[in-house]
Amino acid sequence: MLRTILATPIAVAVVAAGLTAASPSSPAMVRSAASTFNYGEALQKSFFFYEAQQSGDLPSWNRVSWRGDSTRNDGRAEGVDLSGGFYDAGDHVKFGFPMAFAMTNLAWGGVDYRDTYASSGQLQSLRNTVRHGMDYLINAHPDPNTLYVQVGDGTIDHSYWGAPETLEARAQLMDFPRPAHKITASCPGTDVAAETGAAFAASAMLFAPTDPGYADTLLGHARQLFTFADTTKGGDGRDTAYVNCVPAASGYYTSTQEGGQNAGATKMYWDELAWNAVWLYRATGDATYLARAREFYPKMGSQSDAGGGSAAVPAYSYGFGWNDKQYAVYALMARLTGEAEYATDTQRYLDYWTVGYQGARGEYTPGGLAYMFYWAPLRMAAYTAFVALYYADHLGPEDALYHRYHDFAKRQIDYSLGDNPGDHSYVVGFGTNPPRNVHHRGAHGSWLNASATGEPATNRHILYGALVGGPDATDAWTDDRSDFIGNEVALDYNAGFTSALARLHGEYGGQPLASIPGETPDGDEIYLDRTTINSDSRGTSMQVFLTNTSAWPARVLDRGSFRYYFTLDGSTTAAQVTATSPYSTCQQPTGPTQHAGEVYYFTVDCTGTLSFPGGRSEYRREVQLTITSGGQWDPSNDWSAPAARYLPLYDGGTLIWGEEPTIAR
């Protein structure tokens, strides 16, 4: 059971240690002068981004008008419901490692800055988002030693540029599997098990004040996953990394590779174990977990001291991120224990990225961005900014180091919001000249499956709140949809950024919008095009294209049909008029069927032919229709003759486009 003291926004262990949480009324959060940016609006929109990433049956509170239910069969072949959760980035794979990390960090912001979330009006959005992710992770953990860590295959998924709502239709037409990958006791994954355990523990703290039953469920999973990770771990920090058992994750979220040649990117799983243990200690107050965190702490990774000498010191030259938790563990341990060792390690890391450490300082762009890694540098800066704010609040504003770390953090977040050499925001739908053409299949709204460079030229949807990867080392950046390094978005990009925004809102304020602007379709979404090939006294022939460019949301039409209405001429009988399709992706026409009086129609039934915005043939189904009369034929008085709009289109018998006859022409 979670202890009742968790109803406060700080952990049991912190209270026991005599430390206090920062809140809007505490000395560390004295409201400052007005900020250049509206942190309340940015925070509000960040949660909209997470709603745009949702998989499965969308909850009633989802505000994204251009999203619909999707991938509802994920996990069914394995006997588990993995339909929920979040898509990782601009693609549609569900990677458990960064998803769990994002949930841990969103929950962390809510645990330590609950009051600021409440004052911003975004506390319910936070809880909704985290619960959606944790419900998925509960399903992904069906027994103590089994954890599903990925749904989908990156190579296969990346071969298709279409909306998530069309993935299962795509799979019906060709080999497009969405396998579910798991770790078990016989083939473990220490890193992902421990990270997921941390997500459960942090989220348990978030929900304890309002839903203790759910919090207890989360905490049970947290304990089991820590035990799973701990009892199946190897010995060198890499040997039981999950990619050894889930090679499909290799090249995407490989914990033994991220960080390049930076000595501070330690590429081991000891930091995940310490991270999991710290969060369990916070959630339970059980000193056993603190002892385990101390055990793992010195194994997390070290590097040569910038001051010279042979002694190594804990890593300091990289940054907090999905694969490098040690930097956050430093700050958590410093605040939980008050011990100098952990404070020293935290300050070495933060000094390296502010004033420098022992003469060495982290790389910066000319415009002031702490440039920790070339791939999505804004997310790295945002995570370190949140650690800096968290630690500064622990020190308090009277401490000489407070403003060093606080001001660094604010500067990094403000860079993303628009205080940069380009004078533009890096957050979609926020601020001045924000990104629009992000590398994101759903937001693009394309119907051609022609890659990021295909039509339309401009994304049809605004992916409000999404933080893009960011500039290169010279502050250069372009809003280029094909740039998946600088202009993609991802679950983990936004999580640390969101928590930092919440903290800054507590200090500087900022009003959210009354509502996030809605969208309306940019034209007809499912409709018919028609070209008349020939029309004379013997009949009419035409090409009809059932066209599906739907994007509000993308939809699959599998029971479509359309009708051609005509009027009998002179003494011609209905039996003398026939219709055929020399070429058709649908069924042969049926009829004629009497509508009223001398008005009849032929029906072309496309049931079973999938029409969806997912490729040149999939979005545009062709029917060649030839109508022949054995009597008189004068199309000038036929309802359907003038334009395609007069060939009404149906979905299962319900009119969805076009016009039915009102009078005979």
pLDDT in tens, 494-511: 999 999 999 999 999 999
Residues 225, 188: Cα–Cα separation, whole Å: 11
Share of the chain above pLDDT 90, in %: 91
Contacts of 309 (CB under 8 A, 6+ apart): none
| pLDDT of amino acid 2 | 37
| pLDDT of amino acid 17 | 32
| pLDDT of amino acid 663 | 66
Instruction: Write down the catalytic residue from 440, 444, 461, 505.
Output: 444
The answer on pLDDT for 551 being more than 60 is yes
Instruction: Write down the catalytic residue from 479, 507, 525, 618.
Output: 479
pLDDT digits (tens, 9 = 90+) for 50-93: 999 999 999 999 999 999 999 999 999 999 999 999 999 999 99
pLDDT digits (tens, 9 = 90+) for 420-441: 999 999 999 999 999 999 999 9
| pLDDT of amino acid 198 | 98
- pLDDT band for position 35 (50/70/90)? low
Residues 201, 292: Cα–Cα separation, whole Å: 15
The answer on pLDDT for 315 being more than 90 is yes
Residue 455 has a CB neighbour count (10 Å cut-off) of 12
Of all residues in the chain, what percent are helix, strand and coil, respectively (each to 5)? 35, 15, 45
- Chain-wide mean pLDDT for the chain? 93
C-alpha distances out from residue 243 to 224, 255, 264, 532, Å: 21, 8, 21, 57
Q: Which of 87-91, 159-163, 242-246, 307-311 bottoms out in mean pLDDT, i.e. has the lowest?
A: 307-311
Q: What is the mean pLDDT of residues 280-307?
A: 96
Residues 89/488, Cβ–Cβ less than 8 Å: yes
> Does residue 564 sit in helix, strand or coil?
strand
Radius of gyration of the chain measured on its C-alpha atoms: 29
The residues with which 533 forms a beta bridge, in sequence order, are none
What region does 416 belong to: left with phi over 0, alpha with psi -120 to 50, or beta?
alpha
> Does residue 493 sit in helix, strand or coil?
helix
Side-chain half-sphere CA neighbours of 383 within 13 A = 30
| pLDDT of amino acid 13 | 34
Task: Report all structural domains of the chain as residue ranges with CATH numbers, in order of start.
Answer: 4-508 (1.50.10.10), 526-657 (2.60.40.710)
The β-bridge relationship of strands 180-184 and 577-584 is: unpaired
Q: What is the mean pLDDT of residues 612-622?
A: 97
Residue type, 382: A
> pTM, whole model, 2 decimals?
0.93
Residues 289/283, Cβ–Cβ less than 8 Å: no
Contacts of 271 (CB under 8 A, 6+ apart): 296, 300, 301, 324, 325, 326, 329
Residues 491, 92: Cα–Cα separation, whole Å: 12
The answer on pLDDT for 32 being more than 90 is no
The β-bridge relationship of strands 649-651 and 560-567 is: antiparallel
Share of the chain above pLDDT 70, in %: 94
Residues 405, 400: Cα–Cα separation, whole Å: 10
- Which position has the token pair 């290169």? 472
The answer on pLDDT for 4 being more than 90 is no
Residue 288 has a CB neighbour count (10 Å cut-off) of 11
Residues 646/527, Cβ–Cβ less than 8 Å: no
Residue type, 379: R
Q: At what angle do helices 287-296 and 270-284 cross, to 10 degrees?
A: 160
Catalytic residue check, 488 = yes
The β-bridge relationship of strands 302-304 and 312-314 is: antiparallel
- pLDDT band for position 258 (50/70/90)? confident
Peptide bond into 517 cis (omega under 30): no
Residues 427/438, Cβ–Cβ less than 8 Å: no
pLDDT digits (tens, 9 = 90+) for 98-139: 999 999 999 999 999 999 999 999 999 999 999 999 999 999
The answer on pLDDT for 95 being more than 50 is yes
- pLDDT band for position 23 (50/70/90)? very low
> Does residue 600 sit in helix, strand or coil?
strand
| pLDDT of amino acid 30 | 44
- Rounded-to-10 torsion of CA 94, 266, 272, 298: 180
Instruction: Write down the catalytic residue from 74, 91, 324, 638.
Output: 91
| pLDDT of amino acid 257 | 79
Catalytic residue check, 439 = yes
- pLDDT band for position 31 (50/70/90)? very low
> Does residue 287 sit in helix, strand or coil?
helix
- pLDDT band for position 199 (50/70/90)? very high
| pLDDT of amino acid 261 | 82
The answer on pLDDT for 25 being more than 70 is no
Token pair recorded at residue 437: 């053409």
pLDDT digits (tens, 9 = 90+) for 333-383: 999 999 999 999 999 999 999 999 999 999 999 999 999 999 999 999 999
| pLDDT of amino acid 175 | 85
- pLDDT band for position 34 (50/70/90)? low
Q: What is the mean pLDDT of residues 640-657?
A: 97
The residues with which 114 forms a beta bridge, in sequence order, are none
Residues 55/324, Cβ–Cβ less than 8 Å: no
pLDDT digits (tens, 9 = 90+) for 236-257: 999 999 999 999 999 899 888 7
What's the length of the chain? Answer: 665
| Closest alpha carbon to 246 in 146, 139, 133, 132 | 146
Residues 430/37, Cβ–Cβ less than 8 Å: no
Q: Which of 259-268, 293-302, 474-483 bottoms out in mean pLDDT, i.e. has the lowest?
A: 259-268
Catalytic residue check, 91 = yes
> Does residue 594 sit in helix, strand or coil?
strand
Residues 599/562, Cβ–Cβ less than 8 Å: no
Runs of H (alpha helix) within 208-301: 212-231, 270-284, 287-296
Residues 459/445, Cβ–Cβ less than 8 Å: yes
Instruction: Write down the catalytic residue from 51, 88, 393, 488.
Output: 488
Residues 26/20, Cβ–Cβ less than 8 Å: yes
Phi and psi for 277 in degrees, rounded to 5?
A: -65, -40
Residues 95, 91: Cα–Cα separation, whole Å: 11
Residues 487, 452: Cα–Cα separation, whole Å: 11
The residues with which 543 forms a beta bridge, in sequence order, are 531, 624
The answer on pLDDT for 15 being more than 80 is no
> Does residue 201 sit in helix, strand or coil?
helix
> Does residue 147 sit in helix, strand or coil?
strand
The residues with which 622 forms a beta bridge, in sequence order, are 545
Instruction: Write down the catalytic residue from 132, 439, 440, 461.
Output: 439
| pLDDT of amino acid 260 | 78
| pLDDT of amino acid 448 | 96
Contacts of 642 (CB under 8 A, 6+ apart): none
- Rounded-to-10 torsion of CA 364, 369, 375, 380: 110
